[in-house]
Structure 1
Amino acid sequence: MTIKYRHLFFLSMIFIFLGTGSAFAQKATWIWYPGDFEIWLGNKMQNRRTERGSFLPPFWKLDNHYVLIDFHKDFDLAEPERAELFVEGQYNVKIDGKSVFGYPGKISIPAGKHRVSLKVFCQNSVPAIFVKGRKVNSDSSWLVTYEDKEWIDQSGKASDQSGTNWLHAAAWDFEDPASPPSAFKLSLKPQSPVKTERSGRSILADFGKETFGFVKLHGLKGKGILGIYYGESREEALDTAQCETLDKLWLKPDKKADTLSALTRAFRFVNIQIEPGMSIDSVSMLYEYLPVADKGGFRCSDEEINRIYDVSKYTFHLNTREFFIDGIKRDRWIWSGDAYQSYLMNYYLLFDSPSVTRTLLALRGKDPVTSHINTIMDYTFYWFMGIHDYYEYTGDKTFIRQFYPRMKSLMDYCLSRRNQDGMMEGMAGDWVFIDWAEGLSKKGELSFEQLLLARSLETMATSAAIAQEPGDEAKYAALAAELKKKIFDQYWNKDKQALVHSFVNGQQTANVTRYANMFGIFFNYFNEAQKQGVKKNVLMNDQVQKITTPYMRFYELEALCALGEQQYVLKEMKDYWGGMLKLGATSFWEEFDPGKKGTEHLAMYGRPYGKSLCHAWGASPIYLLGKYFLGIKPLSPGYQTYLAEPVLGGLKWIEGTVPTPKGLVKLYCSTTAIRISATEGTGTLRIKSKTKPVCNGALIKMATQGVYDIEILKEKEYDIKYNSVL
């Protein structure tokens, strides 16, 4: 990465020799105030959106980073220390509270106990430091604050610091002192179109599949206006009057030159229009991507499902950028509802925790809270649910302890907006979204919103325990239990065997929708009889309004998988995602209605090409196949213990890998054999078999009639023979 030093006094190197050659304590990295880099980077990314050449910023509140940060750490050195120091911003340095005047090139840290402190001011980017020595290295053990509450008495003595909230510094993969956080950029890779058509003053380049990056024009010559019209479809690129994104370049080169588009765009097709006297030799692109490798994978006996999985992976990678975004063409914003699903897919494909925490922090912003996240009530609750799942999959308590105050202030905001009956109801400024569904009522107290709040309160109770706030833990647990009881008292209809959609003017409405009912299944809020009632009367009932967005199909199919309907889900997956593939999809869409024809599939929001043909929530088969077909999920935080419960769902065989915080679980399953191994944790393999399974050296127990549990220890491969119950 190249660095543009925009700040006054940006860089100083402080070299201090160690007296002897002791080992480095820990690898040095750039550090900053927690959440600030994520907020700063989110602001940069989300304000790149344009609509037909016009700037289109987000319509929710954007926060900013703190511009003045205090860093310090106490060291106990056996011998004198020398180090290098790199800083983004203006700064001062103190050793044991005594200033090192100027912008020093050299300082000495004597042997013994000493505190190294830096105070950094930077307005254009996040105040950050990189300290590299033998034992004096910058890492997340340093403490930081944006207000040190220091004062000086009449004698000139500085006070002892008090009343200050110090947090552990944040860091993320910036281990090169020459590449500070402000220089972060995604990676680039050259790509060429698979086909180019020339007609008069038009060049149409087809890159073969949905992609994202900069368009590069080679050998451009001539004077005039050049138009670049982008299309996820051929129709969109050729419709210069109504395509969603375009660029206009005013050029006057007198000799051939190469030109790169100013902004990254999403496209498959690029239509380049030139004026008379202009010429172009060729067109290519620089594909832009976050370099994260797949750790998980899935294969099975059905090639169409394998193709669905592969296209889901590609769709997910395209939308995994600085953050998990919703779609690469239109919004390119961070939406909490979209991101929540991306977190889950991530745990079964990439297991890239920094992408999760970056997104959570960018969405949360700072206090005071003045609106719901993205202004959407349900999206605030998805934020809490994202933390719930992050802890379950990673076991990371540090993140929760660090950001518990921001969790609490956001929950305080939610609780303050309950109505007089203690229920969530849309108020002025609230967007109650749920789903894109024609005629979906948002009036009154919606069962769906109460259900999400209940799960969020449970998350708060768990997080309060981790943050060692027992009073808060008891408070949130009581609120969650009270609300869950109220949900069933108010919304459960015995005749319909379902939760009704809403409560209006003190009365239960007759309308039953899928939303609250399917969430109640995988939240495990229903008893067994209620589950079966919901399955029959809602999820398998064509009279209940169908879901047409991959966004909510994600949850509908998850609920059915949780009920053991993998065979049905497999058919739905082939019909729904396979239906998009049959129409030529190279990435999965924002919405798919099999009843539409031709270019109707491209339209949305009243615009002929308004639909995103590459939307993160379209990649949900990654999660469904990993969690409910391979059947692997944590039973305790961070996969200390886990369950592997493979279900073929009508397939002849399945195999795959599920990543864990520090390793992998690998599994193969056919109708007669299972192989499983794991590099960490203690697992339980649960299988249905007509006879007792056979496995040398394994502890096999009958869980219930026809269901057997086998203990899986780490670093050991198990070969099991069994008689599948199909």
Structure 2
Amino acid sequence: MKPRLSTTVIALLLSLLCNIAAAQNRAGWIWYPGDFEIWLSNQMQATRSERDAYFLPFWRLYSHQPQVNFARRVELAAPEDIVVHAEGKHAVTIDGKFAQGDQQRITVPAGKHHINIQVYNPASPPAIHVQGKTIRSDDSWAVGPRPYPGAEGPQAVLASSWNLHAPAAPPSQYKLPTREIPAKTIARGKHSLFVDFGQETIGYVKLKNLRGHGKVSLYYGESLEEAQSPETCEILDHYTVADSRGDFTSDRSRAMRYVNIQLGEGMTADDVTLMYEYLPLTRRGQFKSSDPELNRIWDVSVRTLELNTREFFLDGIKRDHWLWAGDAVQTYLMNYYSFFDNDAVKRTTRALRGADPVDMHINTILDYSLYWFIGVQEYYLYSGDEAFVKSIYPRMVSLMDYVLARRNANGMLEGLPGDWVFVDWADMPKDGELSVIQLLFARSLEAMASSADIAGDHQKAAGYRQISDELKAKIMATFWDAGQQAFVHSRVQGQLNRLVTRHPNMFALMLGYLDPAKEAAVKRLLMGDKAAKITTPYMRFYELAALAQSGQHGYVTGQIKDYWGGMLRDGATCFWEQYDPRQKGVERYAMYGKAFGMSLCHAWGASPVYLLGKYYLGVTPTRPGYAAYTVEPDLGGLEWMEGTVPTPRGDIALRVSAKRIEIATADGQGVLRLSSATPPRAGAATVRSLGGDRYEVDLMPRSNLAVDYAARIQH
């Protein structure tokens, strides 16, 4: 007898099907690609302050287009009513004829038609929301500066959207959600409240049942010492409150662990909480191991990244609220092993690039323009989002045209007037042709070639590859010092500066630009003391990635525990912008000539998320969007580890010990690669020898596999 479904189960299934159908026919707000992202980033970046003064960006801010046309061709079997909402003045035409009267509720006749909605809005990005039975606004609409985009070839592009669906909540009103969280401790003085929220956080301070009138001053601190220093803390707010009896909430989202609240004479408050402000995220990536300290490093890294993942990927939540390309490209990679939020990557990429024409590097920083190209190519590898690459490609071309026009007579890049050559906060000369800049330039050209191929621009792709190949040959001939067995630092007016720094050497290793002999020499350099140590998590990210990629996992484990573990031992609840273990006490928080200038919750501090996900769990896409991938786990001295890596095709979970690897795969074709002292056993799966102690096993989509092997543990 076949089992029967209960009426309750049938009702639930019908409800689910109805919800799916409704979601598939759900309209969303749409706009010209980049316009909302540029506008929203401008709003956010203009909020930075230094004590009582606004601190505005020092680079060019672009604007949205004030007028945009949205177009869609439809074919209807019957007339259809549509409801149109627009941000700005708008006019609707059907087949070139204006809809008269009510511009919000319009009937589209049966048959084939061309709908065009023209919107003018100088204050915020023109956007529309259209909902009918079958006609709805989504990213299949054509948008452009002229009427009837789509009929004009290159003038037309496809609209952008996000998860903004409510007609009554247009893009210009977007705000991050909040939820109330309690204080961990509150120390009360006669006219003060000193609050500790227990860990780094961000949001709006709320005073419960504030009574009286007068001045309310809030002095924020990422550290206890900062909050206790009203004269030198970085962030503060002053409010004048009229006679009141009720809750008071600050109007500025601030980063803090501590807040020192000073109240006017006679004022009291019953309690203090925080309206925690956040971007809804799901922690898909996981990591746990036999090492409790490493586990805590992972957890604090994810917390650091989570706080800095907001409307865009920020560098730090306290100080800047600006978008920096170098910081962002690292957070993209961390994101792929934690949240896999593609929308945050796309928003940040568009906002950083801005609009045309190009007259300066991104953030004015030469190397940041180069990272931006690399970030687009890496996004495509992890996401498989071909549509985004095609959409952003024209602005890739215009930025690369700007970069290429600034090459010197040697075909290399060096800082020109108006350029900031950053590389790192390290104390090193930055004039002339820096070898690390040329390596990043070569990689950016490779990224540009890949994107050109995706966009169907094969002639440009071939040109970019040729320039990159020629440049790589020049780099090796110019900067490799056979005597020192390393890349030297720079060339200025034809004269080599034979200083050896870690930066070009680790990038050459990570990018795979070295033959085996040079690779071995560079690994020795990076694991020794010949070159000055790096003190920022920003460049430690690349240094340790290069070493892990070349198989030095045991060394990397020690470095992670020493560096990031050192921050934890010094009281960190998120990871910092810079860390020098030789500094103690309050001096640790000084930077930029200010007592508390350093960020204690900095996105580039979350490097272990990427390092442990990619090089220890070992999951890496080999074809866009994880259509194919490798799993190459390495314990790096651990007894065991387990974790989950998110992909667009589902999560890949694995548990690894010195004797056994267990994997639950996602869709896509995977390959497990491993080293084993004896031939591994993988049940019915075929084990192939790669020579020596190296083996590989095919991973079937949506399957479970256990492999018994004999690992050689690194210590």
Q: Which residue of 1 aligns with 2:16?
A: none
1:140 aligns with 2:139: yes
Secondary structure, counterpart of 1:555 in structure 2: helix
Q: Which residue of 2 aligns with 1:627?
A: 614
Residue identity matched to 1:648: L
Q: 1:323 aligns with which of 295, 312, 325?
A: 312
Q: Which residue of 2 aligns with 1:431?
A: 420
**Could you give the per-residue CA deviations for residues 639-664 of structure 1, whole angstroms, max 9, x where no partner exists?**
11101000001101111111111311
**Could you give the per-residue CA deviations for residues 207-261 of structure 1, whole angstroms, max 9, x where no partner exists?**
11111000111222223222110001111111110000101111221x4222111
Residue identity matched to 1:391: Y
Pairwise CA RMSD = 1.5
Q: Which residue of 1 aligns with 2:655?
A: 668
Kindly report which structure 2 residues correspond to 1:644-663, keeping only aligned pairs within 5 A, or say none: 644-663=631-650
Kindly report which structure 2 residues correspond to 1:513-552, keeping only aligned pairs within 5 A, or say none: 513-536=501-524, 538-552=525-539
1:46 aligns with 2:45: yes
Q: Which residue of 1 aligns with 2:682?
A: 695
Q: 1:475 aligns with which of 445, 463, 468?
A: 463
Residue identity matched to 1:385: I
Mapped to 1, the partners of 2:687 and 2:111 lie a distance apart of 57
**Could you give the per-residue CA deviations for residues 456-513 of structure 1, whole angstroms, max 9, x where no partner exists?**
1111111111111121011101000010111001101111111111012212221010
Q: CA deviation at 1:608?
A: 0.8
Q: Which residue of 1 aligns with 2:114?
A: 115
Q: Which residue of 1 aligns with 2:669?
A: 682
Change in CA separation of 1:83 and 1:148 when aligned onto 2, cut-off 3 Å: closer
Q: Which residue of 2 aligns with 1:489?
A: 477
Q: Which residue of 2 aligns with 1:572?
A: 559
Q: How many residues align?
A: 693
Secondary structure, counterpart of 1:119 in structure 2: strand
Q: 1:258 aligns with which of 240, 247, 252?
A: 247
Q: Which residue of 2 aligns with 1:274?
A: 263
Q: CA deviation at 1:206?
A: 0.6
Q: CA deviation at 1:175?
A: 2.2
**Could you give the per-residue CA deviations for residues 307-331 of structure 1, whole angstroms, max 9, x where no partner exists?**
0000001000110000000001111
Mapped to 1, the partners of 2:557 and 2:319 lie a distance apart of 30
Contact 2:83 2:104 in 1 (8 A): no
Kindly report which structure 2 residues correspond to 1:292-441, keeping only aligned pairs within 5 A, or say none: 292-438=281-427, 440-441=428-429
What TM-score do you get using the length of structure 2 for normalisation?
Answer: 0.95
Mapped to 1, the partners of 2:446 and 2:49 lie a distance apart of 39
Q: Which residue of 1 aligns with 2:275?
A: 286
Mapped to 2, the partners of 1:145 and 1:679 lie a distance apart of 39
Percent identical residues: 49
Q: CA deviation at 1:105?
A: 4.6
Q: Which residue of 1 aligns with 2:174?
A: 184
Secondary structure, counterpart of 1:710 in structure 2: strand
- More divergent stretch after superposition (218-227 vs 616-625): 218-227
Contact 2:71 2:148 in 1 (8 A): no
Mapped to 2, the partners of 1:309 and 1:105 lie a distance apart of 51
Mapped to 2, the partners of 1:170 and 1:149 lie a distance apart of 17
Contact 1:346 1:352 in 2 (8 A): yes
**Could you give the per-residue CA deviations for residues 401-438 of structure 1, whole angstroms, max 9, x where no partner exists?**
11211000000101111122221011111000011113
Residue identity matched to 1:604: M
Q: 1:196 aligns with which of 186, 201, 214?
A: 186
Contact 1:92 1:118 in 2 (8 A): yes
1:88 aligns with 2:77: no
Secondary structure, counterpart of 1:666 in structure 2: strand
1:556 aligns with 2:543: yes
Mapped to 2, the partners of 1:496 and 1:642 lie a distance apart of 37
1:449 aligns with 2:448: no
Q: CA deviation at 1:164?
A: 6.0
**Could you give the per-residue CA deviations for residues 690-713 of structure 1, whole angstroms, max 9, x where no partner exists?**
121112221211112211100001
Secondary structure, counterpart of 1:624 in structure 2: helix
**Could you give the per-residue CA deviations for residues 325-359 of structure 1, whole angstroms, max 9, x where no partner exists?**
00011111110011011000000001110000000
Q: CA deviation at 1:516?
A: 1.0
Residue identity matched to 1:468: G
Q: For structure 2, which runs of at least 5 residues remain unmatched after alignment? A: 1-20
Mapped to 2, the partners of 1:588 and 1:383 lie a distance apart of 24
Change in CA separation of 1:243 and 1:716 when aligned onto 2, cut-off 3 Å: same
Mapped to 1, the partners of 2:520 and 2:59 lie a distance apart of 41
Contact 1:216 1:284 in 2 (8 A): yes
Q: CA deviation at 1:631?
A: 0.5
Residue identity matched to 1:313: V
Mapped to 2, the partners of 1:26 and 1:508 lie a distance apart of 63
Q: CA deviation at 1:23?
A: 9.1
1:245 aligns with 2:255: no
Mapped to 1, the partners of 2:409 and 2:225 lie a distance apart of 52
- More divergent stretch after superposition (170-179 vs 205-214): 170-179
**Could you give the per-residue CA deviations for residues 97-125 of structure 1, whole angstroms, max 9, x where no partner exists?**
11112333543222221111110111222
Q: 2:208 aligns with which of 215, 218, 240?
A: 218
Mapped to 1, the partners of 2:292 and 2:526 lie a distance apart of 27
**Could you give the per-residue CA deviations for residues 504-530 of structure 1, whole angstroms, max 9, x where no partner exists?**
221222101011110111111111111
Q: Which residue of 2 aligns with 1:64?
A: 63
Contact 2:87 2:128 in 1 (8 A): yes
Mapped to 1, the partners of 2:711 and 2:54 lie a distance apart of 58
Contact 1:657 1:665 in 2 (8 A): yes
Q: Which residue of 1 aligns with 2:489?
A: 501
Q: Which residue of 1 aligns with 2:29?
A: 30
Q: Which residue of 1 aligns with 2:3?
A: none
Q: Which residue of 2 aligns with 1:3?
A: none
Q: CA deviation at 1:202?
A: 2.1
- More divergent stretch after superposition (334-343 vs 99-108): 99-108
Residue identity matched to 2:301: S
Contact 2:70 2:143 in 1 (8 A): yes
Secondary structure, counterpart of 2:651 in structure 1: strand
Mapped to 2, the partners of 1:90 and 1:443 lie a distance apart of 51
Residue identity matched to 2:118: K
Q: For structure 1, which runs of at least 5 residues remain unmatched after alignment? A: 1-21, 151-159
Secondary structure, counterpart of 2:106 in structure 1: coil
Q: CA deviation at 1:26?
A: 4.1
Q: CA deviation at 1:391?
A: 0.9
Change in CA separation of 1:90 and 1:615 when aligned onto 2, cut-off 3 Å: same
Change in CA separation of 1:595 and 1:106 when aligned onto 2, cut-off 3 Å: closer
Secondary structure, counterpart of 1:715 in structure 2: coil
Contact 1:311 1:586 in 2 (8 A): yes
Contact 1:40 1:126 in 2 (8 A): yes
Q: Which residue of 1 aligns with 2:691?
A: 704
Residue identity matched to 1:252: A
Mapped to 2, the partners of 1:164 and 1:657 lie a distance apart of 42
Q: Which residue of 1 aligns with 2:604?
A: 617
Mapped to 2, the partners of 1:503 and 1:103 lie a distance apart of 68
Mapped to 2, the partners of 1:417 and 1:280 lie a distance apart of 60
Q: Which residue of 2 aligns with 1:13?
A: none
